[in-house]
Amino acid sequence: MAQKMPGQHRAMITAANLTGAHGVSHGFFTRQGGVSTGIYASLNCGPGSGDAREAVMENRRRVLSTLANEGSATLVTLYQIHSGEALCVETPWPVDDPPKADAMATRVPGLALGILTADCAPVLLADEKAGVIGAAHAGWRGALSGIIDGVVASMETLGADRARIAAAIGPCISQHSYEVGDGFRTQFLDSDPVSERFFAAGGRAAHWQFDLEAYVAGRLKRAAVTSVLPLGICTYAQQSDYFSFRRTTHRGEPGYGRQISAILLKT
């Protein structure tokens, strides 16, 4: 399901298994609907990018106003480090001084948990009955290091039941666009030989196509989360709607923006 902002298209995608959760607002935002220009056009929400600060802050304000009534919520994002580190959030922090972690959980209404991505998988989670939400940044390192287990465990410490958690995996790089080498694959097989099913033969010798989205979905299911919805949207392939670190690297561009995925409990 897509929601439009005035004058734009495909500004936000929602997940069916989270849309019906009472008291929960969420969105997987595209790069459309913002004020940034050039390589950061237009809804770049990453303070760590080379974009103008005032543009990033306005973009983040627009995201928050889409999810909640003006002034009723605060958006928090992390200094993401590709780890398995998850934390529980009770109060917001300054935009320029975020904690280092890759997932958050809260039961505080009005705290919007935001995840910044440009190929990694954003995961939004909610236990409607417990009134607990979570958000995770699942790149390959974080996913392999247990970020999914971390966010689910953090939600449980706040009263969630993993059997009730609904999780959606937002836009990320697809298997078709994600070529990796033998060493990358070996790390996954050494951790769990069953991971072989997430790799397909590549177009070059000793190279493979990795299915990040399916791997993250597998980790959610292994964590006993039963409602798992991958959106199946490729950030690399859809240039007009998504930023992509790998696409930027392949083109030799000087920088890239970050789209945001966010979830909050309504006040």
Instruction: Give the mean pLDDT of 129-151.
Output: 98
List the structure tokens of 106: 């809260």
Instruction: Give the mean pLDDT of 144-152.
Output: 98
Asked if residue 27 lies in contact with residue 75, where contact means CB atoms within 8 angstroms, the answer is no
84-110 pLDDT, tens digit per residue, is 999 999 999 999 999 999 999 999 999
188-211 pLDDT, tens digit per residue, is 999 999 999 999 999 999 999 999
Class of domain 2-174+225-265: alpha beta
Output Rg (C-alpha) for the chain, integer angstroms.
17
Q: Global pTM?
A: 0.96
| H or E element, residue 104 | strand 103-106
Share of the chain above pLDDT 90, in %: 94
Q: 7: pLDDT confidence band, cut at 50, 70 and 90?
A: very low
pLDDT of residue 71: 87
Asked if residue 60 lies in contact with residue 38, where contact means CB atoms within 8 angstroms, the answer is no
Asked if residue 156 lies in contact with residue 105, where contact means CB atoms within 8 angstroms, the answer is no
221-257 pLDDT, tens digit per residue, is 999 999 999 999 999 999 999 999 999 999 999 999 9
154-193 pLDDT, tens digit per residue, is 999 999 999 999 999 999 999 999 999 999 999 999 999 9
Neighbours of 81 (CB within 10 A): 15
Asked if residue 214 lies in contact with residue 221, where contact means CB atoms within 8 angstroms, the answer is no
Q: 70: pLDDT confidence band, cut at 50, 70 and 90?
A: confident
For the chain, give every residue range classified as CATH 3.60.140.10: 2-174+225-265
